[in-house]
A and B are shown apart, each in its own frame.
Chain A
Amino acid sequence: MVAEENVMKRTMILMLVMTTAFGVLAYTTYSRPPADDVKVIKITAKKFDFTPSELTVKKGVPVVLELTSTDRVHGFSLPDFKLTARIEPGKVTRVTFTPDRTGEFTFSCNIFCGSGHEDMAGRLIVTD
């Protein structure tokens, strides 16, 4: 009888542990956005433009900008979200942010790069 009770106890404890583990796993999976929900955008900078120059993202969805340069040092400045970055040739510079409001915002090169520097800009569109 005692042996049977012990087996039952162990079984119940095991079930409890498994249920808890499953619950934790399910919760974790639910609360963390899957990698697919992080929007990754690759941007190439060169004298005197960004490609692409128009980015569309969703409010509340994290964004990773992967910035590279094909010629010289450029800058990336998105003042409305207080973001700046230095883009060096041969390196990937990552900028992560989560847009917290909708609208259209200008980003530009903020490291003087030559006669077309003033034209080196793009547009970020944040939608609901």
Chain B
Amino acid sequence: MVSFLLNGKPRKVDVAPDTPLLWVLRDSLHLTGTKFGCGIAQCGACTVHLDGQPVRSCSTPVSAAAGKKVTTIEGVGATSAGKAVQAAWIQHDVPQCGYCQSGQIMSASALVAKNRAPSDADIDAAMSGNVCRCGTYNQIREAIKDAAANVKGA
């Protein structure tokens, strides 16, 4: 049994501790916003926050989440950075197929939460682990800059 705080609510799951967090979220909890892309931390589609830090849930055993705060795309809008990033995504009409965008938004939210004026180099560093096959990178870049400027609160 592994316990963690998922999007602000305590959850307990009865799974093998080495099960990747991704499959616990998806197959055990049916929280499908977090996506499976590669399974080896190469594409970022599965990005979630563990105590506010972006991690690749496909390569994070659920045991690593024990006692920690797990935030997914379904919950990130409750943070000021996540809310601003999602609003910017909608404003810029970023998604095409959309499959990678949960992961993009989670990586972008983590960046914007700590950097209110990210440079292009900052964005490259934070976002180059997230693959978008539709090529929405330029829109993502613009949306991140807008979101960073619009984050409310400290």
Q: Answer whether A and B are interacting partners.
A: no
User: Which residues does B use to contact A, with CB under 8 Å?
Assistant: none
User: Which residues does A use to contact B, with CB under 8 Å?
Assistant: none
